[in-house]
Amino acid sequence: MEVVILGLGSNVGDRAQMLRRAMAGLAPFLRDLRLSSVYESRAVLPPGAPEGWNMPFLNCAAAGVTALEPEPLLEALKTLEEALGRTPRGHWGPREIDIDILAYGSRMLRVPGLSIPHPELLKRDFALLPLAELAPGWIYPVPGPEQGMAAEMLVRERGYRISAVLQPWDERV
């Protein structure tokens, strides 16, 4: 059994409702589920993205204990995304729901289609902030200058702040 931290995001339709549905859908494979606050962030867009893709996201993190190994967990998450109505729109396109594995205990994994910790974690305030909220002492395992740093230190070092923070069950969410 390992503690896993997932990043959830939505920028299509009723974003808050989609996050609620995704959180409920995690129950079959995550025990002792804990949820971060909900953050609103700008979309990360590829060069030349259509203007219609520029819609803000609601993001949060979920932490829990799983018996699934990383690759079966990823498969379960992709199945959940599909069941919730995620429509393929291209790389970094708008998403009804996006569920990423941000961290899986202290493991590092690089296989086709899956990198743990998430390869963009340190570049994305909307992922690192909720992770640090749930697991401030989680240690970044990837070799390099950040290796061995706790999540809360990584957030401080980068100066990450998001102005719009909503609680998971706040009336506005």
Q: In this structure, is residue 153 part of a structural domain? A: yes
- Domain count for the chain: 1
Which tens digits make up the pLDDT trace of 10-26?
999 999 999 999 999 99
Residue 170 has pLDDT above 70, yes or no: no
* Within a domain: 144: yes
Nearest alpha carbon to residue 135 among 108, 94, 102, 158 = 102
Q: How far is CA 52 from CA 28, 92, 94, in A?
A: 35, 12, 9
Summarised one tens digit per residue, pLDDT across range 124-135 is 999 999 999 999
Whether the CB-CB separation of 99 and 127 falls below 8 Å is answered with no
Tokens read off for 40: 């609103």
Residue-wise DSSP of 118-160: -TTGGG-HHHHHHHHHH-TTPBP-SSSTTTT-BHHHHHHHHT-
Report, as an integer, the average pLDDT of 33-44.
Answer: 90
Domain of residue 124 covers 2-166
* Domain-located, residue 171: no
Q: What's the CATH code of the domain at 60?
A: 3.30.70.560
The secondary element (H helix, E strand) that includes residue 75 is: helix 70-83
For residue 57, tell me if it sits in a domain. Answer: yes
Average pLDDT of the segment spanning 87-105: 89
pLDDT in tens, 117-168: 999 999 999 999 999 999 999 999 999 999 999 999 999 999 887 655 565 5
Within-domain flag for 173? no
Q: What is the pLDDT of residue 107?
A: 95
Q: Of 170, 166, 137, 167, whose CA–CA distance to 154 is shortest?
A: 137
Q: 78-82 contacts: CB < 8 A, separation 24 or more?
A: 80/22, 80/25, 80/26, 81/22
Statement: residue 173 has pLDDT above 90: no
In a domain, 158, yes or no: yes
First CA to last CA distance, the chain: 31
114: phi then psi, degrees, rounded to nearest 5: -150, 125
Range 65-80 average pLDDT: 97
Does 132 fall in a domain?
Answer: yes
Percentage of residues in the chain having pLDDT higher than 90: 74
Q: What is the pLDDT of residue 165?
A: 59
The mean per-residue pLDDT over the stretch 64-82 comes to 97
